[in-house]
Structure 1
Amino acid sequence: MKTSFTTVDEYIASCPEETRGRLQEIRAAIRAAVPDAKEKISYQIACFELNGKNLVHFAGWKNHVSIYPTPEGTAAFNKAIAKYAGGKGTTKFLLDEPLPLKLIGQIVKFRVADNLKNEKLKKGKIK
């Protein structure tokens, strides 16, 4: 597997064949949730960013696909993602289960709001 990617298309093409379609579904769900988000490669996996801030990474593996919405992104949805494997900032979706595309969209929208809140905190606009 190639280890240096410049586009999300290139990354997805390098993933195991059984994960490519699922990665495209995740990609479409993220685009639908945040149409202005831009794709990029970060940490050598697929990522969407908005206003220069990462929203969510996603990746394909042999037996699952994962999203990485940061620890805050998973903590806010603990109950909804409890049935999926994962860890701090990671949610794994097995290949033989339907993808929760609506939930993925909700998580990404939460990340947009969280990034905005954090930016306002930095600028001292929220106390």
Structure 2
Amino acid sequence: MGTVDDFLAGLPDAERSAYEQVVAAALAEAPDAGQGTGYGMPALTFAGRPLLGFRVAKAHLSLVPFSAEAVAGAADLLAGFDLTKGTVHFTAATPPPDDAVRAIVRRRRAEIDR
């Protein structure tokens, strides 16, 4: 098992289901992504760098692409979600849409490739 798999296995069902949807969308865009950590959180990785991190807080779940530009580039697809500089907050009942996750991953991969 990898770091993200371990993280998912330790979550309650609703949170795990939401993150599994996010991970599936991310891997659809970056099927060659690996698993590791970024800034101490479980993350999908690309070319040895963190691509998309995951964190659970008391009041929300977080998607962290390690890039304010990646979040800003998908902001139009994330109407109604709480966005901070470089983070998307959501609930288990309302994960971010797949097209938003794919857009974030596309932009972050492009940053890593530069």
Same fold (TM over 0.5): yes
Q: Which entry has the higher C-alpha Rg, 1 or 2?
A: 1
Q: TM-score, normalised by structure 2?
A: 0.82
| Residue in structure 2 matched with residue 83 of structure 1 by the alignment | 80
RMSD of aligned Cα (Å)? 2.0
Show structure 1 runs of 4+ deviating over 4 A: none
1:93 aligned to 76, 90, 94, which one?
A: 90
> Structure 2 unaligned runs (5+)?
none
User: Which aligned pairs between 1:40-51 and structure 2 lie closer than 5 A?
Assistant: 40-51=36-47
Answer yes or no: is the 8 Å Cα contact 2:4–2:44 preserved in 1. Answer: no
Answer yes or no: is the 8 Å Cα contact 1:16–1:61 preserved in 2. Answer: no
AA matched with 2:106:
K
SS of the equivalent of 2:69 reads helix
In the alignment of these two chains, the number of paired residues is 112
> Structure 1 unaligned runs (5+)?
1-5, 118-127
1:114 aligned to 98, 111, 114, which one?
A: 111
User: Which aligned pairs between 1:49-64 and structure 2 lie closer than 5 A?
Assistant: 49-64=45-60
| Bigger relative contact order (CA 8 A; separation at least 6) | 2
